Amino acid sequence: MANHKSAIKRIRSNDAKRVDNRYYAKTTRNAIKAIRTAADKKEAESKLSDVISMIDKLAKKNVIHKNKAGNLKSKLTKHVTALAK
């Protein structure tokens, strides 16, 4: 158990941030899955910009590593480009 007032506050704030980070990460994973399972190219292209924005926000907040964010964006863009009309 924490012995200092600031350590107790840090535990509380870490718990709150963990919940937020898990929510945003899970939402982004679901959006990525929606793009990967989309059969229509037009639909996937419309979702791509939103998902890229979500990935960038996660990387900015250090929820995921910046290189992972780049890899995800690259693979998703390549996937959407390869979809048939």
Digit-coded pLDDT (tens) for 11-51:
999 999 999 999 999 999 999 999 999 989 999 999 999 99
Digit-coded pLDDT (tens) for 49-75:
999 999 999 999 999 999 999 999 999
Confidence (pLDDT) at 3: 87
Report the candidate in 84, 74, 79, 85 with the shortest Cα–Cα distance to residue 34. Answer: 79
In angstroms and rounded to an integer, the radius of gyration of the C-alpha atoms of the chain is: 17
Measured CA to CA, the distance from residue 5 to residue 23 in angstroms comes to: 28
Measured CA to CA, the distance from residue 58 to residue 40 in angstroms comes to: 27
Is the pLDDT reported for residue 1 higher than 80?
Answer: no
The answer to whether the CB of 49 falls within 8 A of the CB of 77 is no
Is the pLDDT reported for residue 85 higher than 90?
Answer: no
Question: Token match 């959006």: residue?
Answer: 31
Confidence (pLDDT) at 2: 82
Domain map (residue ranges) of the chain: 37-85
